[in-house]
């Protein structure tokens, strides 16, 4: 068998295979025996049809079967002979067969990337000790008091304070035109009547929220602002706007008292609540510190190793990233129109995420191979149990779902990657 290769792109190779007649004779004869035995031709008894008639009447079927059989028999040895590490078979074409000359065909395959591992031992990582101060506990308790706050109707003399709920009438103009005249999707921030908003950062246009502080019911404010150059609505980027805003109703935020907090958490003393809060904060701090250390390792490797990736695996990984983004978008209540409007940005982000994850997988895989990092069945079982508990499912159901979606190898690689990161942290320069 003769095998030639041609590089036709990053991680993509054409493999041209030629097997002579003497190499294909045995398979051809076996296929002919089947057709001679089972071929049906009017006027002849089964198994008694002359060979020439069988070849003529079943030429297309014989050719198709011998090509299929020979391809299955030859393509893996051809790849091994050429030293090509295939990850995906993209295409097979130019296949020709005859009993006299043998078979030729061309495969286009995606191949594993070629890259040099960076020096991965003694990666510089700082190891900070997670701590929680009493001041941080105090801040968290204040956030809890706000989270469990109640809202009461304010008197007409009351001035709006941060955290209050306010019903406002508002209208915005750009160049003396209603804002929604520039873009229909801007209507929610163009005008509103009886619009309820909490006076808290991030809840609405910040300049309007700031202008409401200290204002009483019925006091109209004029607010001038300039939309940022990176505003999500392109038509508003960099535009100057003038809003008129009038508060109609105010509900004062009444922070929860300590007794109410204790009742919410079913505790008896504030010290118990402080202890519980401190414990949870410390757990979060430990987790955040672990993630920071892991991220340091990841960013070091990605910075030191940039290489091409097989297109087919990138496309598969992009689909996984898109599915994850769509699920998150649905959870956040985004509409189909929202997604379509940001389609290009979503695809770009998914592609960047996919390439990053795939490149890491190759890096971790190579390191794991060199350092003998493996995954046992017990570790797979433990991971499935952990994931099932988080999804409120059973390990049996989750395993069946993973196997049905052909994701078991992916799960194993993720476990291997986690173990590899731990190895790299153990070997890091502290």
State the pLDDT confidence band at 321, using cuts at 50, 70 and 90.
Answer: confident
Domain boundary among 111, 138, 162: 111
Average pLDDT over residues 75-104: 95
- Give the residue among 252, 258, 285 at the shortest CA–CA distance from 144: 258
Residue 128 above 90 pLDDT?
A: yes
SS3 content of the chain, % helix, strand, coil (to 5): 50, 20, 30
Q: Is residue 331 predicted with pLDDT exceeding 70?
A: no
Does residue 275 share a domain with residue 246?
A: no
DSSP helix/strand/coil, 404 = helix
Q: Does 338 score more than 90 pLDDT?
A: no
248 vs 405: which has the higher pLDDT: 248
Q: Does residue 239 sit in the same domain as residue 294?
A: no
Question: How many other C-beta atoms lie within 10 A of the C-beta of residue 301?
Answer: 20
Query: What's the average model confidence in pLDDT over 368-396?
Result: 94
Residue 417 has pLDDT above 70, yes or no: yes
Q: For 219-241, give one letter per residue: b (16+ CB within 10 A) or e.
A: eeeebebebeeeeebebbeebeb
Distance CA 308, CA 316 (A): 15
User: Is the domain of 248 the same as that of 337?
Assistant: no
259 lies in some domain: no
Residue 63 located in a structural domain? yes
Q: What residues pair up with 110 in beta bridges, in sequence order?
A: 12, 88
Same domain, 182 and 320: no
For residue 136, name the pLDDT band (cuts at 50, 70, 90): very high
Average pLDDT over residues 386-398: 92
Question: What share of the chain in percent tops pLDDT 90?
Answer: 85
pLDDT at 107: 97
Query: What average pLDDT does this structure show over 143-154?
Result: 93
Which pLDDT score is estimated for 344?
A: 79
> Does 263 reside within a domain?
no
Task: Let me know whether 277 and 405 are in one domain.
Answer: yes
Last residue of a domain, one of 111, 130, 164: 111
On average, the pLDDT of the chain sits at 92
The per-residue pLDDT for range 353-371, each reduced to its tens digit, is: 889 989 999 999 999 999 9
For residues 414 and 362, state if they share a domain: yes
Per-residue pLDDT, averaged over 385-414, amounts to 92
Mark whether 320 and 401 lie in a shared domain.
Answer: yes
CATH assignment of the domain containing 196: 3.10.50.40
Q: Domain of 83: which CATH number? A: 3.30.70.1050
Same structural domain, 295 and 411 = yes
Residues 313 and 338 grouped into a single domain: yes
Q: Is the pLDDT of residue 332 over 70?
A: no
Q: What is the pLDDT of residue 46?
A: 85
Please report the pLDDT score of residue 308 as a whole number: 94
Q: What pLDDT was estimated at residue 335?
A: 65
Tokens describing residue 352:
């960047």
pLDDT above 90: residue 406 = no
Q: Cα(421)–Cα(290) distance, rounded to whole angstroms?
A: 11
Is there a single domain that holds both residue 211 and residue 354? Answer: no
Q: List, for residues 159-182, the tens digit of each pLDDT value.
A: 999 999 999 999 999 999 999 999
Q: Could you tell me the residue range of the domain that residue 83 belongs to?
A: 2-111
Q: How many distinct structural domains can be found in the chain?
A: 3
Q: Is 290 part of a structural domain of the chain?
A: yes
- Residue 416, domain member (yes or no): yes
Residue 346's pLDDT band (cuts 50, 70, 90): confident
Q: Are residues 354 and 324 in the same domain?
A: yes
Question: Given CA atoms 357, 359, 362, 366 in this order, what sign does their dihedral have?
Answer: negative
Look at residue 8 and give its three-state secondary structure.
Answer: strand
CB-CB contact of 195 with 205 (8 Å): no
Give residue 45's pLDDT.
87
Residue 137 lies in a domain: no
Q: CATH number of the domain that 329 lies in?
A: 1.10.3120
User: Residue 174's pLDDT is what?
Assistant: 96
**Residue at which a domain ends, from 62, 94, 111:** 111
User: Has residue 373 been placed in a domain?
Assistant: yes
On whether residue 116 sits in a domain, the answer given is no
Query: How high is the pLDDT of residue 284?
Result: 96
pLDDT in tens, 257-313: 999 999 999 999 999 999 999 999 999 999 999 999 999 999 999 999 999 999 999
If asked whether residues 61 and 158 sit together in one domain, one would say no
In this predicted model, what pLDDT tens digit does every residue of 13-59 receive, in sequence order?
999 999 999 999 999 999 999 999 998 999 888 888 999 999 999 99
């Amino acid at each position: 068998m003769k095998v030639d290769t041609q590089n036709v792109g990053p991680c993509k190779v054409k493999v041209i295979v030629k097997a002579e007649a003497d190499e294909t004779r045995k398979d051809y004869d076996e296929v002919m025996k089947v057709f001679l035995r089972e071929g049906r031709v009017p006027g002849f008894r089964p198994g008694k049809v002359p060979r020439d008639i069988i070849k003529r009447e079943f030429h297309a079927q014989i050719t198709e079967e011998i090509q299929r059989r020979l391809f299955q028999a030859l393509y893996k040895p051809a790849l091994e002979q050429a030293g090509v590490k295939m990850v995906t078979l993209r295409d097979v074409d130019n296949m020709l067969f005859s009993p006299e000359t043998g078979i030729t065909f061309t495969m286009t395959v995606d191949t594993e990337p070629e890259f040099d591992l960076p020096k991965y031992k003694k990666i510089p990582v700082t190891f900070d000790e997670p701590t929680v101060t009493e001041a941080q506990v105090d801040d968290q308790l204040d956030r809890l008091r706000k989270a469990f706050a109640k809202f009461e109707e304010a008197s007409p003399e009351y001035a709006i304070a941060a955290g209050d709920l306010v019903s406002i009438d508002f209208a915005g103009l750009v160049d003396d035109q209603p804002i929604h005249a520039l873009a229909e999707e801007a209507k929610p921030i163009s005008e509103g009547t009886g619009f309820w908003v909490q006076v808290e950062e991030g809840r609405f246009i910040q300049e309007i929220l700031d202008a409401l502080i200290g204002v009483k019911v019925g006091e109209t404010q004029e607010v001038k602002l300039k939309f940022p150059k990176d505003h999500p609505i392109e038509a508003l980027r960099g535009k100057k706007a003038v809003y008129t805003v009038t508060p109609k109703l105010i509900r004062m935020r009444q922070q929860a008292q300590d007794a109410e907090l204790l009742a919410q958490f079913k505790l008896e003393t504030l010290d118990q609540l402080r202890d519980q809060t401190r414990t949870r904060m410390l757990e979060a701090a430990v987790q955040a510190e672990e993630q920071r250390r892991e991220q340091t390792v990841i960013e070091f490797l990605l910075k030191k190793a940039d290489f091409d990736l097989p297109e087919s695996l990138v496309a598969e990984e992009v689909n996984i990233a898109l599915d994850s983004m769509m699920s998150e978008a649905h959870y956040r209540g985004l509409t189909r129109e929202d997604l379509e409007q940001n389609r290009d940005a979503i695809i770009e982000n998914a592609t960047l995420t996919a390439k990053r994850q795939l490149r890491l997988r190759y890096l971790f895989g190579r390191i794991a191979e060199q350092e003998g990092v493996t995954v046992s069945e017990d570790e797979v079982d433990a991971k499935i149990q952990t994931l099932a508990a988080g999804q409120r499912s059973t390990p049996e159901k989750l395993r069946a779902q993973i196997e049905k979606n052909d994701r078991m190898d992916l799960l194993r690689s993720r476990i291997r990657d986690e173990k590899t990161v731990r190895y790299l942290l153990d070997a890091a320069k502290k």
